[in-house]
Amino acid sequence: MSRQFVPSSFEHRYSAQQTALKEQQAQIREQRRLIEELQYEQRQQTMRQELGQGSKTLTSPPTVPSSPPEAEAPPQGRQIPRDDSGDPHTRVAAQRPEVPGHSVRPTVGANHREQNTEDDSARCELQTDRSDFTTATWATHNTAATGTTQNSKYLKVLKNMEDRAAERARLKAEREERRRQQEEEKAAQVLREEEERQRQAEAEKKARIEAHRQKKRLEKQREEEKQREQARQEEMTRLAEEHYRRSILKYRGLLPFKKLISLVKRNWLKAVRQHEKCLLR
């Protein structure tokens, strides 16, 4: 006796858990992809804002004076005090403190040396101011160059990001196109399979109808053959009965009767001859 196979409920639970786990993993991958896209968009927006701020800063560079700064306003602590006459000897004398009880009477050689010393000091201060101005100018140019370099770096980074975004968009579009083509091919395949099933169903239906017609036709032919055979048997039976009746009449009715008649006739002839013989005696 064959037993019917009954699937275990554990197998149903296991398959259902596997299906749910696959669906959850697909949802997690989709969420991760969306999070990465959002993070990339935020980073790109932040870089654009920083690049816009850097471009605004670089478009308004600091003005560089055409003349040295010491000619217009000497720096604090490096100014050379001058009196109305502009004589450095008077300036040095004014800067020297007076000692009580002593009068300062500089000689001609001392005055000359002091003048040379003051000229050297003024020259050194002018050179220092010029070097500071040059350093400031170079620093400004270096800052502008650095800003330009950073701007070019930002532009390069932004260009790379835009290229990567365009590449991702292209790849995404290609994936979407492939997915759409696969869905269309799948739908076309399903449609073709459905049409094939319909054609097979129609062919099977026609085959069943034709088989039914053939069966009916064969049954009709067998019935007709049966009827013809029955009619032939009936005819043969009738002929046999007729032949039997004739045989009975011939061999058991007519011939014995003929024999009886001929016997009676012979006996009558014998009797007549015997009577004639008796009369003749």
Dihedral pair phi/psi, residue 97, rounded to 5°: -80, 145
Residue 133 and residue 68 in contact, taking contact as beta carbons nearer than 8 Å:
yes
The number of beta carbons lying within 10 Å of the beta carbon of residue 158 is 15
Residue 81 and residue 87 in contact, taking contact as beta carbons nearer than 8 Å:
no
Residue-wise pLDDT tens digits, 206-254 = 999 999 999 999 999 999 999 999 999 999 999 999 888 888 877 777 7
Instruction: Give, as one character, the DSSP assignment of residue 248.
Output: I
pTM, to two decimals? 0.30
The reported pLDDT for the residue numbered 132 is: 56
For the four alpha carbons of 36, 38, 43 and 47, in that order, the dihedral sign comes to positive
Residue-wise pLDDT tens digits, 177-206 = 998 889 999 999 999 999 999 999 999 999
Residue 48 and residue 42 in contact, taking contact as beta carbons nearer than 8 Å:
no
Which tokens is 106 given?
């500089």
3-state helix, strand, coil in the chain (%, to 5): 85, 0, 15
Which parts of the chain are beta strand (E)?
none
For residues 248-276, average pLDDT? 84
Question: Residue-wise over 27-61: b if at least 16 C-beta within 10 A, else e?
Answer: eeeeeeeeeeeeeeeeebeeeeeebeebeeeeeee
